[in-house]
Amino acid sequence: MPMPASFKLDLPVRPRRLRRTAALRELMRETQLKAADLIAPLFVVEGDAAPQEIASMPGQFRLNLPDLVKECRELWALGIRAVALFPKLDPKLKNAEGTEEVNEDGLILRAVRAVKAAIPELIVITDVALDPYTSHGHDGVLNAAGDDVDNDRTVERLAAMAVRQARAGVDFVAPSDMMDGRVGAIRAALDAAGFVETGILAYSVKFNSAYYGPFREAVGSAQAAGTKLLSKATYQLDPANRRAALAEADLDEEEGADILMVKPAGAYLDIIRDVRERSDRPLAAYQVSGEYAQIHAAARLGWLDLERTRDESLLAIKRAGADLILTYFAKEVARALT
């Protein structure tokens, strides 16, 4: 039975008062997303070919060095203040030991020099792991039996890798390998080499996730291994484990990480919140390739609104406690914000 027109609830508190107009909603907004909160991951290749779109990541490209510099200039103009660089190597340069990584004139080092020469103020972050360089696709070198990654020998390689990247001019090295003790070893190596100002953005809580598939295509590590189902379960975190995630973050903080990171972001908002409440260090989260790809796929089918879903997903990550977000949506979101 309909209520009479004169019916009024006796409510001293009406939350809808604060949502009545667009101006009020904006005034009351608790979580704000800025272009400067975003870090753009970029893929770089050799040669002078036109940008190569990554099939599973619409709108993302592998860029040669001149195009990489051009992209970085555009990102800077839009308010993006940091980029993370990832190399896509010719498979002929890969082997079981990932020896191309030690090349002082290697692709990623030249990319760092080119970007810093063109836009010195832009913060450049480089990945510290061997998966782009190894023929087996793992993040480190294998043990004698060839059935697992050798933790300590890999850490020795990664520490030297970080020093080479610092020498090229990088602002932050980002160990993404999940080896035990690598943050402390990298910090010690950087300091011993005189790079006390080079920061460490640690992939502190990196899960053994199914969401990495498109990224592995982008850098060629899946193809190197001959499978898109390469298991890294002996070093990346079990998605079921919350306490283990916090223990990893604690260790990285103790070993000298300047910024902690959780990866992936969207499926692990509870972990982002846990780390935020536990640590005062700046906290980053990586909205990974699979998260980006599934939003695009659903939007192409007409099942989701691309822009609204994109923005909601990023707000959720920020609301959970991330200060910084690595996202493939960085450029288009920054453009929308301006």
Q: Where are the beta strands (DSSP E) in the chain?
A: 38-44, 52-53, 61-63, 82-87, 123-128, 172-175, 199-206, 259-263, 283-287, 324-327
Give the integer Cα–Cα distance in Å for 154 and 141.
6
Query: What are the C-alpha distances in Å from 13 to residues 1, 26, 27, 95?
Result: 26, 20, 18, 67
Q: Where are the beta strands (DSSP E) in 134-224?
A: 172-175, 199-206
Catalytic residue among 88, 206, 318, 331: 206
Residues 6+ apart with CB under 8 A from 178: 139, 203, 206, 232, 235, 236, 237, 248
Catalytic residue among 94, 116, 232, 263: 263
Annotated catalytic, 94?
A: no
| 130, 157 Cβ separation under 8 angstroms | yes
Query: What three-state secondary structure class fits 327?
Result: strand
Annotated catalytic, 263?
A: yes
Residue linked to tokens 């020469």: 117
| 268, 287 Cβ separation under 8 angstroms | no
Residues 6+ apart with CB under 8 A from 285: 261, 262, 263, 265, 268, 272, 317, 320, 322, 324, 325, 326
Rounded to the nearest 5°, which phi and psi values hold at 172?
-135, 135
The two tokens of residue 80 are 């993006």
Give the integer Cα–Cα distance in Å for 9 and 22.
25
Rounded to the nearest 5°, which phi and psi values hold at 38?
-105, 140
Give the integer Cα–Cα distance in Å for 221 and 231.
12
The residues annotated with a catalytic role in the active site are 206, 263
